[in-house]
Copies of this chain bind each other. A is one copy, B any other.
Amino acid sequence: MAKRIKEPRIALYPAPVVLVSCADVQGKLNIITVICAGIACVKPPIISIGVHPWVYSHSLIESTGEFVVNIPTVDILAKVDYCGSVSGREVDKFKETGLTPVPASQVKPPLIEECPVNLECVVRQILQLGIHHLFLGEVVATHLDETLMDANGKVQGEKCNPLVYLYLSRE
């Protein structure tokens, strides 16, 4: 292979694309689209999400210490794109997208009904790395849609239909 050295950059793929739901201390809801998400630890189950410090959801997650990771399917790509394009300071993203908030079991931010997987998370650490702050959230409850499972309750990967983001192509 003939390779070219480029300036240091992120080129890690495929990346998951998730909708993170959050709430302020008065219960006002928001959704943010996150592409910097990763598995940080399997036991205890900890997920990392990178969020710009200047966005509205950052202050919400920081103040409540809770968020929900919702994994969308390709069917709602336009809504995922919308939630990453506008600010919750100005619009009610649940109202504008028609996505449905459903009460979570352990945390105040809601699940997003239309996403087949929802992970309720409690913030354990925040690392101020640079243009992203990394929230490390321990998963305290997991919701899986029955349509993903076979008759024995085993999840079928081919039914997940997730968004797959190639960070490389962002040049």
Chain A residues within 8 Å of B, Cβ to Cβ: 1-16, 18, 35-48, 50, 69, 71, 105, 111, 113-114, 116-119, 125, 127, 129-132, 134, 136, 138-149, 153-157, 160, 162, 164, 166-169, 171
* Chain B residues with CB below 8 A from A116, complex form: 1, 3
Distance, CA A47 to CA B36, complexed state (A): 10
* Chain B residues with CB below 8 A from A114, complex form: 1
**The one of B36, B141, B168 that contacts A157, using a Cβ cutoff of 8 Å:** B168
Distance, CA A125 to CA B14, complexed state (A): 24
* Chain B residues with CB below 8 A from A111, complex form: 3
**The one of B136, B139, B156, B171 that contacts A169, using a Cβ cutoff of 8 Å:** B156
Distance, CA A114 to CA B1, complexed state (A): 7
Distance, CA A124 to CA B63, complexed state (A): 27
Query: A4 with B164: in contact, given A129-B136, A134-B41 (CB under 8 Å)?
Result: no
The chain B residue with its CB closest to the CB of A100 is B1
* Chain B residues with CB below 8 A from A132, complex form: 40-43
